[in-house]
Structure 1
Amino acid sequence: MVEQKEVINGVQIKYKYKQRKYDTQHIIFVFCGFGSASMFTYDFENALQDCPAHVVWIKDDFNDCCAYYLCQNMNYSIEQAVITFIESMLARYGLDRSCCTLAGFSKGGTAALYYGLKYHFINIVSTVPQFHIGSFAKREWPLVFKHMADPENENSIFVLDTLLPQLLRDDGSIEKNIYLLTSEADYQYEKEIKPYLDGFRKYRNFNLLMATSQLIREHNQVTSYHVPLLLGIFYSLSQGAVPHYGYCELIADNTLVSRPVKPQPVAILKKIAVMDTLIFPEGIAVLKGVSCGEYQDIEIDLVFKNEGLEEVFRIAKAHRSILTRQLYEEGFVNYDKGWFCTAKFQGLNIHELPAGRYRILLDITCQEHYARKALEVDAGADNKILASSESVDVYSQNGHVYLWKKS
């Protein structure tokens, strides 16, 4: 989808739009959280492509910085532009607030609640929101706080912190369908959400969805783990079928896997770049069934081997909590540190490696278990040149990874 722009009262709104399917009379506005690679993103862009409703993703990008869709220098012209934009889209498609859902995740969840409560929208879907906008932004995203706050007013934190709690306390429009997804495993839960749960109980259809899976151990895992549930809510609301869950503790299998006697190694190259004799490999390196939740749990060596030579290089690890979920089989094992890379992602110099063709392997030592495994690629990357420079070619053949040192 192409990013579009509209200017409302001098404020530029960036957004993407997906047309409805068939005769569906509903529109979903998606407010976005912080991105993983940068502060900007469009959440659920792929997941909602088949949703029958109109979908509008609004980007929290106002003068090159996020603003919680609210303000810059405590001037709320951003908020006024956003609500005007939403109302204009409703009018464009002949819809009213009863045929509309405001949805958001993390920072976007805060915005969905803010606009939903303040401007009397009926359907609100919010996951892991922050209630103390000022304190959170100053602590976690200081550039965002600086962008939002008034540099001449030290009271900005207090004002921003009280916006959402005050709206919740004062809202008298209780005919709302609110779906709040959260988890006690989220470090923000105790301060950002728990103190305000009682304030939601006045709404006729307040739904508290508590995630309990061991695969959820971080803030950004709550939403991604429950994409199917959220899609079910969106699809139901789009068709006019309003779900009523009440308080719902989401069930998960929290079985722990016993450590195997002889764990099987996994060694998969996920990305590779080369620059002259510098190589930048990254991928998965674990022993199945053996936890590597801490950096000291696992050591990884990159091995270049041919008939006459074997060269071994110690490489680094990185935190990738998604691996624990991706590699899940019969029970919970923590694979968070099972991502191999070069130190500080600055590359490994193989200048002194003699010229020749090498098969690449990994030596994996984890919790006193050791295994050697030939480095593999996914099927879609097989039998290809993976990376190339004047000095080095890295390629795959029959599922395995090879390096050709030219000189």
Structure 2
Amino acid sequence: MSEQTFFGKNYKITYKFRSARLDKRKLVVIFSGDFAATNYYDFSGKSSDFVKSNILWIRDMFNGEFTYYIRDRSGFGLGDDIQDLISYYVTRLGISKRDVILMGFSKGGSAALYHGIKYDFKNIVSTVPRIKLGSANVERPKILNGLTADHSEQSIRELDQIIPNLILDDHKLDKNIYLYSSPQDPLFEGELREHLPKFEKYTNFNLTITESDLVRRHRDVTRYNLPNIIAVVNLLVDNITPRFGTVTNGNRDYRRIDSKTEESKYHICKTSSASLEQNHLYIAGHSFIRGLEPNDSNLSNTLILKDDWGQEYRYPLFHTTDLYLSYIYYQGRYLNYDRGGFSTRKSQGIDLSTLPIGDYYLSIEALHDDQIQRSTLDDSSVRKSWSVANESIYCLYSLGKVMRIRKYALNEPITATPLHFSLNQAEIDKRKLEIQGELVFSEAAEASKIGYHRFKLIATNIETNEIRLFPLRRSTENLAIGKGLSRTLHPGAGFSTSLELNSSIENEGLFRLSIGLLSGSNYFGVPTGFILHYTSSGKVSLQREVLK
């Protein structure tokens, strides 16, 4: 689904549309609740696959401001333009307003109520709507500025009364309204509770109050109730109108678990991100012992890099908070796993400069009081990456679904012998370094067919040993090596570049040039036999290296 633009009378509206699947003719209009500056739309992922009707997603971004889809600094004209967009699809689909379901979460829930009541739509699904639009944003002046240019107390009160007054003045009561909230939502008491009686006049008002330890934040209410919300929407899509009134769902378990007597205790360990930057590893995820509530004093996580000979290198990890862990790993009774997250220290990472050259697999050791468990890190978050720092090159990769790191020394001789190496061009032309040739290592042949296979130009400052890597273009042609039955084809063995030196090399000096091949998780390098001489005055030359 691509993003589209509707040009209303006064506003440009950004939206997405998905046609119905099967024979579902209804239109579900979704107002997003997120304050994301990017093109984010609520309910546009896998959840929407369960709803087979037409879906219209509308994004809340008008002239660079958030508006709750209700008004901006100039007034309420925005709502009419949004209605023109909805009317366009109602006409195009050959349906009526009674076939439209307005749906939204938080800010989007406010919009679903506002548009549903003001413009008389029959079906409204709203989760944790913000009712007091002014008070809700007093401490968020940037968002408040999208609603009004006047931040006075009077203006705040007027914004707070928009939705309540709309409900009080509404006399078209034949509506199906489905409202979801929870006392565990910090905004429930100060915003929604006092206005709930106003909804009771509607012929089919349904209120779901969630009482669960798994709901502790504003956003948790929608997450917890999503299966129910989808069920209600699907019934409405099929012309079945649910009527359940005011109900309570969820189960609050006030009996705290004695962690010492909990039987099933095993290590939960999962990475959410892993990356290399120069000689630093950045990693994050969660690690704790299920059945034991983690906190900063009773749980410590250690990242372990272990080579194939059993030598270990240990690095402490730091606690992070992830409020979804208690939800994801709920089993039978509630346990608070909030502090089970880990990461390397922000902006620092783990310094690998003192790590010996070698190949290592990664694991995390969780120590909770006197219990210790260890798990290897899976490769779910690994995207193969290379980095260079000082005289070393690092590769983060996976092998057998296990995360690994390999470290090479760039200036040490490579023990492998190339199957073929030729440098067909090495010259300076109009201040550009022109390089072209072929390089094949038998050890890299299979990886070149199916995996990561990149050529690099390596420039090493002879005096300082500072190393710069520059990408080389890889040819698409096959290189034939051998004769007769021993003849083999090697795809993508050629490399080339036309490197603009003025913008690529900053400091003067003599640079030894090599060709590097990153293939799979392996690094191979061969010297070109050339030295690049670059001066501060901009003079550049290429000379053959005299081997001693």
TM-score with structure 1 length normalisation?
0.91
Q: Which moved more, 1:49-58 or 1:191-200?
A: 49-58
Alignment of 1:161-176 (within 5 A): 161-176=160-175
* Pairs within 5 Å for 1:122-141: 122-139=122-139, 141=140
Q: Following the alignment from structure 1 to structure 2, what is the Cα–Cα distance between the partners of residues 177 and 300?
A: 51
Cα-to-partner distance string for 1:239-295 (whole Å, 9 max, x where unaligned)? 110000101111437375542368322222222111111111111211111112x54
CA offset at residue 137 of structure 1? Answer: 1.9
| Partner AA of 1:82 in structure 2 | I
User: Mean alpha-carbon deviation: is it higher for 305-314 or for 97-106?
Assistant: 305-314
Mapped partners of 2:153, 2:364: distance in 1? 54
Distance in 1 (CA, whole Å) between partners of 2:152 and 2:268 is 55
Superposition CA RMSD, Å: 2.2
Q: Which residue of 1 aligns with 2:458?
A: none
Tell me the equivalent position of 2:11: 11
- Equivalenced residue count is 400
CA distance in 2 between counterparts of 1:155 and 1:250 reads 38
Counterpart residue type for residue 304 of structure 2: V
Question: Hey, which bits of structure 1, 4+ residues long, moved more than 6 A?
Answer: none
* Alpha-carbon distance in structure 2 between the residues aligned to 1:353 and 1:389: 14
Q: Partner residue of 2:274?
A: 272
| Of 210-219 and 200-209, the range deviating more from structure 2 | 210-219
Q: Does 1:65 align with 2:65?
A: yes
Q: Which amino acid aligns with 2:201?
A: K
CA shift in 2, pair 1:76/1:13, >3 Å: same
In 2, the alpha carbon distance for the partners of 1:251 and 1:312 equals 42
- Structure 2 partner of 1:226: 225
- What is residue 374 of structure 1 aligned with on the other side? 375
What code does the residue aligned with 2:14 have?
K
Aligned residue number for residue 148 of structure 2: 149
In structure 2, how many angstroms separate the alpha carbons of the residues matched to 1:246 and 1:262? 40
TM-score for both structures, normalised by structure 2: 0.69
Does the Cα contact within 8 Å between 2:34 and 2:42 map onto a contact in 1?
Answer: no
Give the equivalent residue in structure 2 for 1:310: 312
Counterpart residue number, 1:325: 327
CA deviations on 1:44-84 (whole Å, 9 max, x unpaired) are 11212342321101000112232111222242232221122
Is the partner of 2:88 in helix, strand or coil?
helix
Match of 1:339 in 2: 341
SS class of match (1:285): strand
Matched residue, 1:188? 187
Distance 1:295 1:94, change over 3 A: farther
Deviations 1:97-117 (A, max 9, x none): 211111100110011011111
Q: Deviations over 1:192-250 (max 9, x none)?
A: 11111111111111001011222111111110121111111111101110000101111
Find the aligned partners of 1:295 and 1:167 in 2 and give their Cα distance.
48
| Amino acid corresponding to residue 389 of structure 1 in structure 2 | S
> Which of 329-338 and 11-20 deviates more?
329-338
Check the 8 A contact 1:132/1:160 in 2, yes or no: yes
Shift of 1:93: 1.6
Which SS does the other structure have where 1:207 is aligned?
Answer: strand
Query: What percentage of residue pairs aligned between the two structures are identical?
Result: 28
Amino acid at match of 2:302: D
Q: Are the equivalent residues in 1 in contact too, given 2:10–2:78 (CA < 8 A)?
A: no
Per the alignment, residue 506 of structure 2 pairs with none
Distance 2:197 2:92 in 1: 37
Aligned to 2:173, what secondary structure does the other structure show? Answer: coil
Q: Tell me which residue corresponds to 2:486.
A: none
SS of the aligned residue for 1:224 comes to: helix
In structure 1, distance between residues paired with 2:225 and 2:298 = 29
1:66/1:138 Cα in 2 relative to 1: closer, same or farther (>3 Å)? same
Larger radius of gyration between Structure 1 and Structure 2: 2
Equivalent residue of 2:65, what SS?
Answer: coil
The answer as to whether partners of 1:184 and 1:190 remain within 8 angstroms in 2 is yes
Does structure 2 retain, via aligned residues, the 8 Å contact 1:40–1:66?
A: no
Among candidates 379, 387, 397, match of residue 385 of structure 2: 387
Which secondary structure does the structure 2 equivalent of 1:241 belong to? coil
Q: For residues 121 and 297 of structure 1, do their structure 2 counterparts lie closer, same or farther at Cα, with a shift above 3 Å needed? A: farther
Assess, with a 3 A threshold, how the Cα gap between structure 1 residues 329 and 38 changes in structure 2: closer, same or farther: farther
For 2:375, the aligned partner's letter is: A
Q: In the superposition, relative to structure 1, how do residues 135 and 39 fare at CA in structure 2: closer, same or farther (>3 Å)?
A: farther
Deviates more, 1:389-398 or 1:1-10: 389-398
Separation in 1, partners of 2:121, 2:263: 57
SS of the residue 1:133 aligns to: coil
Counterpart residue number, 1:53 = 53
In 2, are the aligned partners of 1:70 and 1:79 still within 8 Å (CA)?
yes
| Counterpart AA for 2:113 | L
Contact 2:134 2:158 in 1 (8 A): yes
Name the one with the larger helix percent: 1
- Partner of 2:228, secondary structure, is helix
Residues 1:385 and 1:210: Cα distance change in structure 2 (over 3 Å): closer
Larger mean Cα displacement after TM superposition, 73-82 or 266-275? 73-82
Deviations 1:343-373 (A, max 9, x none): 225522222222222232223233x244241
Distance (whole Å) between structure 2 residues aligned to residue 150 and residue 250 of structure 1: 41
> Does the C-alpha gap of structure 1 residues 105 and 40 become closer, same or farther in structure 2, counting only changes over 3 Å?
farther
Long gaps (5+) in structure 2: 410-548
1:125: Cα distance to partner?
A: 0.3
Corresponding residue of 1:79: 79
Check the 8 A contact 1:272/1:386 in 2, yes or no: no
Q: Does the C-alpha gap of structure 1 residues 127 and 262 become closer, same or farther in structure 2, counting only changes over 3 Å? A: closer
Counterpart of 2:285 (choices 278, 283, 286) is 283
Higher relative contact order (CA 8 A, sep 6+): 1
Q: Secondary structure at the match of 1:45?
A: coil
Question: 3-state DSSP class of the match of 1:313?
Answer: strand
Where does residue 24 of structure 2 map in the other structure?
Answer: 24
Change (3 A) 1:43 1:297: farther
What's 2:302 paired with? 301
Deviation at 1:38, TM superposition (A): 5.0
